[in-house]
Chain A
Amino acid sequence: QVQLVESGGGVVQPGRSLRLSCTASGFTFSSYGMHWVRQAPGKGLEWVAFIWYDGSKKYYADSVKGRFTISRDNSKNTLYLQMNSLRAEDTAVYYCARDYYGDYSRVDYWGQGTLVTVSS
């Protein structure tokens, strides 16, 4: 069955960096585009970034553009989110999610999330 497992979250000071990972199993990872979506404590969902199945194209929300970088290693079935210049408002649970058609129409499976807390 499809499984997505995020890791790498933790407590980090403002201005520092953190890299999240999402390990996929149960499907052909290299055939699917992938998203990162976050949820601040007690708040709603916010789309963060998307990467094509082959890593050739990447898209970002304005709130993270220039600070976050999405990437993937299809040989390791792993998706990444490099987060630099972190701010308090980046505190959230970060989810990775699969895009079934690669066109945002059907984001079907989500991981359980990893919590990032930005605090001094």
Chain B
Amino acid sequence: QSALTQPPSASGSPGQSVTISCTGTSSDVGGYNYVSWYQQHPGKAPKLMIYEVSKRPSGVPDRFSGSKSGNTASLTVSGLQAEDEADYYCTSYAGSYNLVFGGGTKLTVL
């Protein structure tokens, strides 16, 4: 399975919104509503921020939202805060009990 495509970096100023894209194919992102997003701070374990395209686990601020159109999923972070600076990874179910990840996006809060 090929990795999903994410931009290597994204940035925004405090209070602004930023959107990170995640492009796959009809065999993964486009074929299933099983897209998740993870936040990872340096040296830490990934933290689930969004699952099933747009659902937020309890405790995740509503500043984080997810969506999908065709083969591309997106994570939007609104009202950027300093603590949002981290790496973000998308993942999608890819059929046949395979899970595929994106290459990661480093979000910088300017």
A114 to B3, CA, bound (A): 23
Q: Is the CB of A59 within 8 A of B45?
A: no
Q: Is the CB of B45 within 8 A of A107?
A: no
Q: Considering only CB atoms, which chain A residue lies closest to B97 in the complex?
A: A59
Q: Is the CB of A105 within 8 A of B97?
A: no
Name the contact of A107 in the complex, choosing from B36, B96, B102 (C-beta under 8 A).
B36
Q: Considering only CB atoms, which chain B residue lies closest to A111 in the complex?
A: B45
Contacts of B57 in A (CB 8 A): 106, 108
Q: Is the CB of B101 within 8 A of A61?
A: no
Q: Considering only CB atoms, which chain B residue lies closest to A48 in the complex?
A: B99
Q: What is the total number of residues of chain A having a CB less than 8 Å from a CB of chain B?
A: 22
Contacts of A113 in B (CB 8 A): 45
B16 to chain A, nearest CB (A): 25
B64 contacts the other chain (CB 8 A): no
Contact residues, B44-61 vs A (CB, 8 A): 44-48, 51-52, 57
Please name the 4 residue pairs, one residue from A and one from B, whose CB atoms are nearest each other, closest first.
Answer: A59-B97, A47-B99, A110-B45, A106-B51
Interface residues of chain B, those whose CB is within 8 Å of chain A, are 1, 3, 34, 36, 38, 44-48, 51-52, 57, 89, 91, 93, 96-104
